[in-house]
Amino acid sequence: MAPSASPHGGNTTPPTSEQETLLLVNTFCATTVDMLNAVSVTCERKLTEHALRIQRVEAKLVMLEKTLEGVRDGNVSDTGKQ
């Protein structure tokens, strides 16, 4: 299927069959779904990692707040020290 010259100066290609078009569309859809699934897995993994980091920071913040309350009250303890 070599391109042929068009009367308007451009090259034209013969039309593809419906089966070829369907195959191309199905391949495109399958490839796109695979890519989107991979992106989804990556995003979910990163969100989980960030959620764990946030939980750790929140836990440290609670310990810091308790330590500060103890300092304000004059009850300094070693609970906030590592």
Burial of 59 (0-12, 13-18, 19+ CB in 10 A): exposed
pTM of the model: 0.57
Structure tokens belonging to residue 82 = 């590592």
Which residues of the chain fall below pLDDT 70?
Answer: 1-10, 76-82
User: What percent of the chain has pLDDT above 90?
Assistant: 65
> Going along the chain, which residue ranges are E strands?
4-5, 11-12
- The residue among 57, 58, 79 whose CA lies nearest residue 69 is 79
